[in-house]
């Protein structure tokens, strides 16, 4: 049985390394141009080289997003950019524009092509069309049910793979094809600049009554009329595998290192547990408890089981739930003194109850009872961003272990 590939977001080089260390089988990222996350840190050419080597050294694949819908002025710069990076051993290019597919095939003939979810791939006739264009993996539209996915899988060539989003933000528009951001503030969602106006609060103004604002409500609880809950399929690993999906994808190139580590860890445990005993798989609620320690909205299963209803919307708030703070990352550890050198990410105070977790390791809790500055002098708190501190650990840790605390 071929194991589901766990595909994680890498918004910058640090997040790529964390995704790799915490259990991703593959990562996806964008260069400084031509992907649909202009607000992410993204990768310079040297960072692509470093990131791909880091991932490949640990057996992890690298997929690069070229999934904008290109305008005329994009064509020449994109072609030149591809020529600059063509010798980097990127495993696949994620594309949605037929013109870009053609250019990649001309510049890098051996490139593996994956069709972005932006292309709205919803049926096997379209799947077979893209197969004839050289595409070998389809990132499915989010608007498909399990039954539709199975039908597609049974009607495409055996060497064409299916990839599906299983976790993260849901777009209110069809597979992300949206003009609202462009219309509202001239930021083009189809060129990587979405401002998420679907999650703003709206009121109605009548032409003859300027200044009189009326709330736009779907029910009496609030006015977030296009505010979907987040997708989460952690409980449904068997169904994902049974549908013929090859790769399960986590959304979130603009999310934090803490988010990437937490979500990848939870899905890694669920997938590994399933393949250890497919017939006797039992979902562990503790995975969800861990998952929810990263920032999140309420969860939905999207379209997988049926079309979403009003139960899949959140009418009360567009804010995230953030019960835990990411307070630091281990940079080194001395097993003799049990002292970890930690890079601070949010304020920590002597006496805090903290949790520490690492790749493939369950978390442990302890009181922050020894806190020193970089020179080994005792301090009461670490309030400065990226301050280097020394902390005594109750259990062994290693580089890139993460510290968090309940807010």
Dump pLDDT digits (tens) for 42-99: 799 999 999 999 999 999 999 999 988 888 999 999 999 999 999 999 999 999 999 9
Buried b (16+ CB within 10 A) or exposed e, 29-52: bbbeebbbbbebbbbeeebbeebb
> Cα–Cα distance between 34 and 387 in angstroms, integer?
34
Give the DSSP letter of residue 21: H
pLDDT at residue 207, as a whole number:
79
Domains of the chain plus CATH, in order, are 5-174+227-312 (3.20.20.380), 324-406 (2.40.30.10)
pLDDT at residue 296, as a whole number:
83
Where the chain has pLDDT below 70, the residues are: 1, 36-41, 173-177, 189-192, 214-226, 309-320
Instruction: Please enumerate in sequence order all residues whose Cβ is within 8 A of that of 272, keeping only pairs 6 or more positions apart, or say none.
Output: none
> Which DSSP helix (H) or strand (E) runs through 111?
none
Tally Cβ neighbours within 10 Å of residue 210.
Answer: 8
Give the DSSP letter of residue 287: H
pLDDT at residue 258, as a whole number:
96
pLDDT at residue 206, as a whole number:
76
pLDDT at residue 198, as a whole number:
74
> Cα–Cα distance between 34 and 95 in angstroms, integer?
10
Dump pLDDT digits (tens) for 236-253: 999 999 999 999 999 988
**What's phi and psi for 291, nearest 5 deg?**
-55, -40
With beta carbons less than 8 A apart as the criterion, state whether 63 and 26 touch.
yes
| Helix, strand, coil percentages for the chain (3-state, nearest 5) | 30, 25, 45
pLDDT at residue 196, as a whole number:
76
> Cα–Cα distance between 310 and 199 in angstroms, integer?
15
3-state secondary structure 327-378: EEEEEEEECCCCEEEEEECCCEECCCEEEEEECCEEEEEEECCCEECCCCCE
pLDDT at residue 163, as a whole number:
98
pLDDT at residue 271, as a whole number:
98
pLDDT at residue 18, as a whole number:
97
pLDDT at residue 229, as a whole number:
83
With beta carbons less than 8 A apart as the criterion, state whether 1 and 247 touch.
no
pLDDT at residue 219, as a whole number:
56
pLDDT at residue 114, as a whole number:
98
pLDDT at residue 310, as a whole number:
62
**What's phi and psi for 221, nearest 5 deg?**
-90, -15
């Amino acid at each position: 049985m071929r194991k589901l590939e766990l595909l994680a977001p890498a918004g910058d080089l640090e997040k790529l390394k964390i995704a790799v260390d915490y259990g991703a089988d593959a990562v996806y990222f964008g260069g400084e141009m031509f992907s649909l996350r202009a607000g992410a840190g993204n990768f310079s050419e040297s960072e692509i080289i470093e990131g791909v080597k880091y991932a490949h050294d640990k057996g992890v694949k690298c997929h690069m997003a070229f999934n904008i819908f290109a305008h005329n002025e994009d064509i020449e710069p994109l072609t030149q950019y591809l020529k600059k990076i063509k010798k980097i051993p990127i495993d696949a290019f994620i594309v949605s524009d037929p013109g870009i597919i053609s250019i990649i095939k001309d510049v890098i003939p051996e490139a593996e092509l994956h069709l972005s979810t932006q292309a709205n791939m919803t049926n096997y006739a379209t799947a077979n069309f893209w197969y004839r264009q050289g595409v070998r993996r389809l990132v499915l539209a989010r608007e498909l049910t399990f039954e539709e996915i199975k039908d597609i899988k049974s009607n495409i060539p055996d060497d064409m793979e299916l990839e599906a989003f299983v976790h993260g933000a849901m777009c209110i528009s069809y597979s992300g094809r949206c003009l609202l951001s462009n219309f509202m503030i001239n930021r083009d969602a189809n060129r990587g600049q979405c401002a998420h106006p679907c999650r703003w609060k709206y009121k109605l103004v009548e032409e003859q009554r300027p200044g009189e604002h009326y709330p736009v409500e779907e029910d009496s609880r609030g006015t977030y009329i296009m505010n979907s809950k987040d997708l989460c399929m952690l409980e449904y690993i068997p169904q994902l595998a049974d549908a013929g999906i090859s790769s399960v994808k986590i959304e979130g190139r603009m999310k934090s290192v803490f988010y990437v580590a937490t979500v990848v860890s939870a899905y890694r445990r669920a997938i590994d547990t399933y393949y250890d005993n497919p017939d006797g798989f039992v979902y562990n609620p503790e995975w969800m408890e861990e998952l929810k320690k990263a920032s999140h909205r309420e969860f939905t299963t999207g379209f997988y089981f049926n079309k979403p209803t009003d139960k899949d919307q959140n009418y009360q708030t567009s804010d995230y739930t953030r019960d835990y703070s990411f307070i630091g990352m281990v940079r080194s550890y001395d097993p003799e003194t049990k002292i970890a050198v930690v890079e601070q990410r949010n304020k920590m105070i002597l006496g805090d109850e903290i949790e520490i977790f690492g790749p493939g390791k369950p978390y442990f809790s302890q009181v922050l009872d020894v806190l020193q500055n970089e020179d080994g002098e005792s301090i009461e708190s670490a309030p400065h961003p990226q301050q280097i501190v020394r902390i005594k650990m109750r259990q062994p840790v290693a580089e890139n272990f993460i510290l968090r605390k309940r807010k």
